Chain A
Amino acid sequence: MAAEETLAALVSQYAGTLYRVAFSVLRNPADAEDAVQEAFLRVLRHRETLDEVRDRRVWLIRIVWNVVLDRKRRAKTRPETDDVADLARVLPSDGLSAEELAAAAQHHAHVLACVEKLPAKEREVLMLSAFEELNSVEIASVLEISESSVRSRLFRARNLMAELLEHTRSLHKRSLR
């Protein structure tokens, strides 16, 4: 019973974090919630080993990360919220007008489309680096790579992103002329 109480405490403490991690990859609220539930079900199956886990937060993030990547690999479809209207509905409006919100959503959708074009390794590091609650050591632990690999992948990801955004911007300017 002690393991189940620990599990209940983990749900209260980390469900939100796991949801955000799942949503950052899947970008679909229902899929992200499913992924969180599946992650906790996996924890339930291995609840005897809970005492052996040193850093439960990183351990849980790693589990949900693997669940999410499995799902994405199986689906092989674009995240639904790359659709501008869906993104506008999900992202916070912060007192923006409808037009501003639509423009912001379009911009975010464009950025996310560029992120999807990155190689998988670089994309994963870039996404995880957006989580302020994860430092580089923890990202390395989630991805099961060294910290130096995290840094080099992030460097490459940022360069690639800059190139992609610059390329699309120049295309956009050319089309306006």
Chain B
Amino acid sequence: MNDPTQNSFSNRPVAGSGLSSAETTLRLIARLAAPEGLEDRVRARLAAAPRGGRILAWPAALSLDSGWMRSAAAAAIVFVVAGGGWGVYSRVQRPQPARVIVLAPRAPAQGGFASAGAMRTPQTLNGPVVAHPAAAQPVQGKLPAKTAQKPVHRARPTAAGKASGQAATAPAK
């Protein structure tokens, strides 16, 4: 068994004289004596070093060992957590119910494309112009006011739409 105070490589035969002398050099350096007074200088340096624990130590009156201080700290933590929670809760807005927009049934253009049930269609095109507004006037009373003035949107024909559309276009024929 190896002597614990000596490494296991020291007694090995070396490959060549050069290597042997290299190990001799390293051993020579490894055996160098420490300079005199090293220990004293190290002790002096340690004594001069600031003690982190003392600098950051709490005053004795505020020590966490005392019961009332511990209770006060716990109460402060509870207060901060509860206050923060209430602050967040009071700022949160409840979601409002979605507004329902009721659109008037749209009159489909005859022979045109359907809107495939879209809720809104861009108002980029003007509707067909009535050739004789005087002839159309008696029928307009039956129609909703909006559909008569607005351009005709191409909506998918529904049961109600079909009925109103037929009524609106009938005089033009």
A residues in contact (CB < 8 Å) with B: 7-8, 11-12, 15-16, 19-20, 23-24, 27, 29, 33, 36-37, 40-41, 44-45, 90-92, 107-108, 111-112, 114-115, 126-127, 129-136, 138-139, 154, 158-159, 161-162, 165-166, 169
Q: Are B9 and A20 in contact (CB under 8 A)?
A: no
A-B contact pairs, 30 of them (CB 8 A): A7-B46, A11-B39, A19-B35, A20-B30, A24-B26, A29-B35, A33-B35, A36-B42, A37-B41, A41-B49, A45-B52, A91-B28, A91-B29, A91-B32, A127-B26, A129-B7, A130-B27, A130-B29, A130-B30, A132-B6, A135-B2, A158-B19, A159-B15, A161-B22, A162-B15, A162-B16, A162-B19, A165-B19, A166-B16, A166-B18
Contact of B8 among A7, A41, A127, A135 (CB under 8 A): A135
Contact of A162 among B2, B18, B26, B42 (CB under 8 A): B18
**When chains A and B are docked, how far (Å) is the Cα of A132 from the Cα of B42?**
24
**When chains A and B are docked, how far (Å) is the Cα of A37 from the Cα of B4?**
27
Q: Are A44 and B39 in contact (CB under 8 A)?
A: no
Contacts of A24 in B (CB 8 A): 26, 29-30
Instruction: List which B3-58 residues lie within 8 A (CB) of chain A.
Output: 3-10, 14-16, 18-19, 21-23, 25-35, 38-39, 41-43, 45-46, 49, 52
Interface size of B by Cβ–Cβ distance < 8 Å? 37
Contact of A158 among B14, B28, B32 (CB under 8 A): B14
Contact of A40 among B10, B21, B42 (CB under 8 A): B42
A20 and B31 contact, Cβ closer than 8 Å, known pairs A7-B46, A33-B38: yes
Contacts of A45 in B (CB 8 A): 52
Contacts of A166 in B (CB 8 A): 16, 18
Contacts of B33 in A (CB 8 A): 16
Question: Chain B nearest CB: distance from A37 CB in Å?
Answer: 5
**When chains A and B are docked, how far (Å) is the Cα of A145 from the Cα of B39?**
31
**When chains A and B are docked, how far (Å) is the Cα of A166 from the Cα of B20?**
12
Question: Chain B nearest CB: distance from A47 CB in Å?
Answer: 9
B residues in contact (CB < 8 Å) with A: 2-10, 14-16, 18-19, 21-23, 25-35, 38-39, 41-43, 45-46, 49, 52
**When chains A and B are docked, how far (Å) is the Cα of A134 from the Cα of B26?**
14
Q: Are A40 and B14 in contact (CB under 8 A)?
A: no
